[in-house]
Amino acid sequence: MNGPPPSPTSADDFYQTLVENAAEGMLTIDSDSNIVYANPAVEDILGYAPTELIGSSKMKIIPERLEPVHAAALASYVATGERNINWDGIELPALHKDGHEVPTLISLHEHEHNGEQYFTGIIRDITEQRQRESQLQAQKDRLNEFADILTHDIRNPLSIAYGYTEIAHEQSESPELERVLASLARIDDLVSDILALSKRGEVVGETESVDICECLHASWSSVETQQATLQLEDELGVIAADKSRFQELLENLFRNAVDHAGAGATVTVGSLPDDTGLYLEDDGPGIAEPIRSEIFNHGYSTTADGTGYGLSIVSQIVEGHGWEIAVTTGSEGGARFEITW
C-alpha cells in the first residue's frame, strides 16, 4: 500500500537533495546577471565552491572576450522575450577558477519566484568529448594522408602496367590483353572511388539510374571465374545506385561464389518477387546456418587464405544504399544472397 504523499516541506527537501547531488552543475541568476544559487557540482566543473559564486556576477565565470556578448544577449531577452540561442543545449566556454577555459554544454530554463525573473543553467563539462573529437580528427587526417600516399604508389606501377599492356595489345590485338586492360582500368576507377569516398567519409557516392544487367556482365568479366557460368533468369531493369560501388558489390559476390562453389559452378541471378530486389545464388555447398550471421563481419573467412574483406565490403555498400541483404539456401542447395532495395 502506498504511503501518503510527501508534505510540501518534505517534497522541497527531497528535490533539494536531488539538485545538491546532481552530476551536472546548476547555476541560477536573476535578471541582472547576479548568481543566486550554485550546486556543489559546479565546483567539480569550474573550481568555485558555491559560496564563492553566490552574490557575485555571472561574469565571474565568463571569459573576458565574451562578457559583452553575454550581457547583451540577456538584456535583449529580458527586454523582448525573443530567444536568439538554442536554450536546449548550447556549447559555450566557461572560465575556471584557475583561469583556463572549460568547454561546456549548457541548457537554459526560465522561471519566476515571488514575482522575480530567474534563469537556471544546467552545465555539463564536455572536455573529454572535445578531446575524443580532436583525436578522431587527427586519425582522419592521418588516414587521408595515407590514402593519398597509397593511391599515388598504386597508380605509378599501374600506369606503367597499363602503358606496356596497351602497346602489346596494339601489336597482337589479343583478347586476353584486352581483358587485362579492362581490369587495369577497373583498378584505376576503384582507386579513384575509394580515395574520394574516404575523404568525404562516405561508403556510397552520388547515385544514378543503373542498368543492372549491364553491371552484372561488367562485374562478371572483372572476376576470375574459373570456367564458372553466369545465368540470368530474367530482365532485371534499372536501379538508383552508385554504379561503381554497385559493380564492386557484384564483383565480391561473384568472387565469393566462385571461390566457394569451385570451378565449373553455375551462378544464377534473378529478380525477387514484385521487383523488390535481386538474388544471386550458386550451386556449391552453401553456407551453414550457424555462421550466416557472421559472414559479413570484417575479417571473417572460412578459408585459410581468405582475407574476410569481400562480404564485409558487400554489407557496407548495401547499407550505404539503404538496402538490406540476407543469406539463405539456394534452389540447388548452394549459397543464396538476397538484396532488397
- State residue 9's pLDDT score: 53
Q: What is the DSSP letter of 44?
A: H
Residue 100 DSSP symbol: -
Which residues, other chains included, contact 168 with Cβ-Cβ below 8 Å and sequence gap of 6+?
Answer: 174, 177
Backbone angles phi, psi at 81, to 5 degrees: 75, 10
**Chain centroid to CA 24:** 29
Locate 107 and state its grid cell: 541548457
> What DSSP element (H or E) covers 236?
none
- Report how far residue 231's alpha carbon sits from residue 233's, in angstroms, rounded to the nearest whole number: 6
- Grid coordinates representing 126 are 564536455
Intra-chain end-to-end CA distance of the chain, in Å:
55
pLDDT recorded at residue 15: 63
Res 72: pLDDT: 87
Q: Give the per-residue pLDDT at 122.
A: 92
DSSP 61: G
Local structure of residue 55 (DSSP, 8 states): T
Whole-angstrom Cα distance, residue 47 to residue 27? Answer: 13
Secondary structure E strands in 13-132: 25-30, 35-38, 90-95, 101-113, 116-125
The DSSP bridge partners found for residue 114 are: none
- At residue 12, the 3 state secondary structure works out as helix
Amino acid at residue number 243: K
Q: List the domains of the chain with CATH numbers.
A: 8-125 (3.30.450.20), 133-201 (1.10.287), 203-341 (3.30.565.10)
pLDDT at 8: 47
Catalogue the E-assigned strands of the chain: 25-30, 35-38, 90-95, 101-113, 116-125, 208-211, 229-232, 238-241, 266-271, 277-282, 324-329, 335-340
3-class secondary structure per residue, 284-311: CCCCCHHHCCCCCCCCCCCCCCCCCCHH
- Residue 76: what pLDDT? 86
226-280 per-position pLDDT tens digit: 788 999 987 888 999 999 889 989 988 998 888 888 878 899 999 999 889 999 9
Residues in the chain, pLDDT under 50: 1-8
For residue 306, which amino acid is it? G
Closest among 282, 279, 317, 281 to 296, alpha carbons compared? 317
pLDDT at 111: 87
Q: What is the DSSP letter of 207?
A: -
- Residue 189 cell numbers, joined: 576507377
Grid cell at residue 69: 556578448
Helix-strand-coil percent breakdown of the chain, rounded to 5?
Answer: 50, 25, 30
